[in-house]
């Protein structure tokens, strides 16, 4: 069975860039957030999510209003935990099936934004953390999501501190320049291939 390498990083750290680079090397990469979004289009899941909220979170087209849900859960840890309680087990089940399809690989990468916060690191053989200075992460996220610094900081406050993540990780990629980031990732992949 393949080893599972966790890939994580705070908002705006550049973990998606690293995930794409690893995938370009022919290594299977599971993007948990993407799969969660796909699962949230299932009518049964939509109904289950709606039951968590007092207000309507379903758009006229029958899909979940992700913006509205985001606003609610990022300011309410209890609601966030409830939402994760619905989505995480389904993603875990999906990942198990995906892993079966890629079992011939020596290792696969599982990219999860809240790997440590969800306890997912315990299911990984090694963990790669992508990090960047706070101001860089703020700027990237504000530009990418077109949101205020205040909203980005609120989201960051729901995640574990960078310092704590660094202590729990096996490898750390400091994502400042693409060239250095790719060199760092190459070195990690070489290490994983030799272990």
Binding site for ATP, by residue number, is 12-17
What gap in Å lies between CA 9 and CA 124, rounded to an integer? Answer: 15
Residue 130 phi, psi (nearest 5): -105, 130
- 184 and 9 Cβ atoms separated by less than 8 Å: no
| Annotated binding residues | 12-17
**Residue 146: burial class (beta carbons within 10 Å; 0-12, 13-18, 19+):** exposed
Structural tokens at position 150: 């205040």
- 14 and 140 Cβ atoms separated by less than 8 Å: yes
**What SS3 state is found at 161?**
coil
Query: Left if phi > 0, otherwise alpha if psi is -120 to 50, otherwise beta: which for 12?
Result: left
């Amino acid at each position: 069975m393949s080893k599972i390498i966790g890939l994580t990083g705070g908002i705006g750290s550049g973990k998606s860039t690293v995930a794409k680079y690893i995938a370009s090397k022919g290594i299977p990469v599971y993007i948990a957030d993407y799969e969660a979004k796909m699962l949230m289009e299932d009518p049964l899941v939509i109904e289950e999510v709606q039951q968590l909220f007092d207000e309507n979170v379903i758009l006229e087209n029958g899909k979940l209003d992700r913006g509205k849900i985001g606003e609610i859960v990022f300011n309410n840890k209890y609601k966030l935990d409830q939402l994760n309680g619905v989505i995480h087990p389904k993603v875990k089940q999906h990942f198990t099936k995906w892993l079966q399809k890629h079992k011939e690989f020596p290792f696969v990468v599982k990219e999860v934004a809240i790997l440590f916060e969800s306890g997912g690191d315990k299911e990984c053989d090694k963990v790669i953390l992508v990090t960047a200075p706070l101001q860089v992460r703020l700027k990237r996220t504000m530009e990418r999501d077109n949101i205020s610094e205040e909203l980005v900081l609120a989201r960051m406050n729901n995640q574990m501190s960078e310092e704590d993540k660094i202590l729990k990780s096996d490898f750390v990629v400091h994502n400042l320049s693409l060239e250095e980031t790719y060199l760092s990732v190459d070195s990690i992949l070489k290490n994983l291939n030799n272990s």
